Amino acid sequence: MPNRIRVGIVGGAGYTAGELIRILLYHPAVELKYIQSSSNNGLSVSSVHSDLLGDTDLVFTDINFEDTDVVFLCSGHGKSIDFLNNTVIPKHVKIIDMSHDFRLKRAGNDFVYGLPELNREEIRVATKIANPGCFATAIQLALIPLAANGLLTDEVHINAITGSTGAGQAPTDTSHFSWRDNNLSVYKAFEHQHLGEICQSLCQAQPGFSKDVNFIPVRGNYTRGIFVTAYTKFIGTIEEANDIYTKFYASHPFVNIARENPDMKQVVNTNKGLLFLEKHGNKLMIISCIDNLLKGASGQAVQNMNLMFGLDERCGLNLKAIGF
């Protein structure tokens, strides 16, 4: 295909970079040219991402930005700012950052927050994207339709469980198999770092929103996927709620409204967000599930790239759920 999008990846050794490589190698409009990794320079990509043996002969190398259309920054939180401060990137190169560094609005931050279901038109004309966090994506998908209709009138309560890949590839005490298997634990209750971007987006959708968002994150004893259960006050009927969500996501191809209580395997290995609603008294319960490495990270980044380059946002993202 002529005029393919020339892609470079910075920080190519981790989980999100691995997922990104897998998608881009088979993306019909992409030429994956450069994958940089400071700790693996000169090694074959498949020696680090062993499942790619036979799929690519690429080696980790520096990026020639003059020969690149878009660069994905996958080096982790705090490192993107340092990289951009110390690297000259030509103006023609678009940037999609996977870290937390540019998600929150502040003076001098010209990155667009990359949740397509909230900012699709802004993403289409952007040159710099701050890809959302995984928990933040799942929770925002659950709540933004209410906010966009001015219906968040009370505090919100959220319990969300994530797989071990959400903690990154570097081993820690709480991601080690022997600790994580057959185990559960709460961490960063009420103060998780994704709360900032969640509240920022809710205020964008519903100006003046100031209620508490009570978030309890849980470490799950599995590798990938996020399962969110949220509830808040809602006076309408379940039929009205389903109508609000169905209309809000009608033009967004990756978000589906389930009519039966879902399970996480329906979304693992896909770029889907799956939502389910139930009414209990005066409360609306919303279940939201995504794959933390795809719709919560690399899949959403490719979705953003597609929008930035005028492609169908589904391009290269027709991925199969694992099923069982």
Active-site annotation, residues = 134
| DSSP β-bridge partners for residue 5 | 30
Distance CA 14, CA 21 (A): 11
DSSP string computed for 226-270: EEEEEEEE--S-HHHHHHHHHHHTTT-TTEEEESS---GGGTTTS
Scored b (16 or more CB within 10 A) or e, 2-17 reads eeebbbbbbbbbbbbb
Of 295, 239, 234, nearest to 266 (Cα)? 295
Please, what is the Cα angle at 301 between 142 and 208, to 5 degrees? 40
DSSP string computed for 124-146: HT-SEEEPPPHHHHHHHHHHHHH
End-to-end CA separation in angstroms for the chain: 36
Query: Which residues, 6 or more positions from 171, have their beta carbon under 8 angstroms from its beta carbon?
Result: none
Q: Which token pair is 141? A: 């998908």
Query: Which residues, 6 or more positions from 207, have their beta carbon under 8 angstroms from its beta carbon?
Result: none
Of 152, 277, 137, 130, nearest to 203 (Cα)? 152
Would you state the torsion angle of the CA atoms of residues 100, 129, 76, 21, taken in this order, to the nearest 10 degrees? 140
